[in-house]
Amino acid sequence: MSQPPGFEKLATNGTTLFTSSKADSSLFLYKHAGVTTLLIVYVDDILITGGSPAFIDFVVSQLHAKFSLKDLGELKLFFGIEVHRAGMHEANTASTPIAAYPKLSKAEGNLFSDPTLYRSVIGALQYICHTRPDINFSVNKAAQYMQQPRDTHWTAVKRILRYLRGTLDYGLWFTVDKSMNLTMYSDADWGSDADDRRSTSGYCLFLGANIISWSSKKQRAVSRSTAEAEYRSLADAASELMWVQAILADLDVHTANVSKIWCENMITKQ
């Protein structure tokens, strides 16, 4: 990934206070006298967090002296979906975010009359995936048809909205857990895409009892067996696990010496 404009300048000026993370070049760390502060650069945005509000104010003032900054204050995110435009404000709820059958395809159904609405709702749903891993798979599937959405795809998107409407009180639950073990769960389906026969990889990573990372993504190549699909998924999961281990090491978070990766390796007969 190319570095954003001004990144080198920030890195140079930030060395007097922060050190760059070895695991992620966009993450800067300050650790001194019991004070830990993190500075994360994302494109043209800077996110600062830490245990000392006074030190954070000091860092902001130092950066403001060198850069043109707009302080947005305490971060508050609100995700809105145009449910009235989608006609979902009085719809019945759904118990699951996606139906097992029929499987989505590029060829089934008529072209959707409002592709802009389709892309807008998918964009909002992708943000919600940051806190709702239970819709990650279904949103990933629906997002594959944004170029030419069809009525069947829109029906699938409306099902996700109906599911969210019935699960507004769902969310991630973080608990105090003395265990700092990393545990990864990996799975893959085999050739589930009706158009290109590519498989979908999925994983979720737990730190103790709390989930901290998850993904559902179509594989880049066609897997010729269930074993190959599982190995591809395991490779992605292992890569993510090693990266998280490196990030936690930069933060002086000590995990178990050996992390576990569990995979679903049942081979089904076709």
pLDDT band per the 50, 70, 90 thresholds, residue 265: low
- Residue ending a domain, among 123, 150, 171, is 171
Question: Where is average pLDDT lowest: 154-168, 186-200, 256-270?
Answer: 256-270
Number of alpha carbons in the 13 Å side-chain half-sphere of residue 268 = 8
Asked if 54 and 121 sit in the same domain, the reply is: no
pLDDT of residue 220: 92
Asked if 160 and 188 sit in the same domain, the reply is: no
| Chain mean pLDDT for the chain | 84
Question: Where is average pLDDT lowest: 10-19, 36-45, 237-246, 259-268?
Answer: 10-19
- Residue ending a domain, among 151, 171, 191, is 171
Q: Is the pLDDT of residue 22 over 70?
A: yes
pTM: 0.76
Q: Is the pLDDT of residue 124 over 80?
A: yes
Asked if 90 and 165 sit in the same domain, the reply is: yes
Q: Is the pLDDT of residue 78 over 60?
A: no
Concatenate the DSSP letters of all residues of the chain into one string: -PPPTTHHHHHHHHTTT-EE-SS-TTEEEEEETTEEEEEEEETTEEEEEES-HHHHHHHHHHHHHHS------S--------TTTTT-TTPPP-SSSS-SSSPP-SSSSPBPS-HHHHHHHHHHHHHHTTT-GGGHHHHHHHHTTSSS-BHHHHHHHHHHHHHHHHTTT--------S---EEEEEEE-SS--TTT---EEEEEEEETTEEEEEEEEE-SS--SSHHHHHHHHHHHHHHHHHHHHHHHHHTT----SS-EEEE--PPPP-
Residue 177 belongs to some domain of the structure: no
Q: Is the pLDDT of residue 270 over 50?
A: no
pLDDT of residue 31: 86
pLDDT of residue 85: 58
Q: Is the pLDDT of residue 84 over 90?
A: no
Asked if 166 and 192 sit in the same domain, the reply is: no
Name which of 127, 120, 126, 129 is nearest 83 in CA terms: 120
pLDDT of residue 198: 92
Asked if 99 and 137 sit in the same domain, the reply is: yes
Q: How far is CA 220 from the centre of its chain?
A: 18
Average pLDDT over residues 112-137: 93
pLDDT band per the 50, 70, 90 thresholds, residue 254: confident
Check which CATH number belongs to the domain holding 252 and give it: 3.30.420.10
Residue 240 belongs to some domain of the structure: yes
pLDDT of residue 255: 83
Q: Is the pLDDT of residue 8 over 90?
A: no
- Residue carrying structure tokens 């998850």: 214
Q: Is the pLDDT of residue 73 over 80?
A: no
Average pLDDT over residues 199-209: 94
Count how many domains the chain has.
3
pLDDT band per the 50, 70, 90 thresholds, residue 179: confident
pLDDT of residue 231: 93
In sequence order, what are the residues at sequence separation of 6 or more whose Cβ sits closer than 8 angstroms to the Cβ of residue 182?
Answer: 205, 206, 207, 241, 244, 245, 248, 255, 256, 259, 260
Average pLDDT over residues 176-181: 86
pLDDT of residue 133: 93
Distance CA 36, CA 4 (A): 25
pLDDT of residue 82: 53
Asked if 166 and 186 sit in the same domain, the reply is: no
pLDDT of residue 1: 40
Asked if 93 and 147 sit in the same domain, the reply is: yes
Enclosing domain of residue 56: 7-66
Name which of 131, 134, 153, 135 is nearest 144 in CA terms: 153
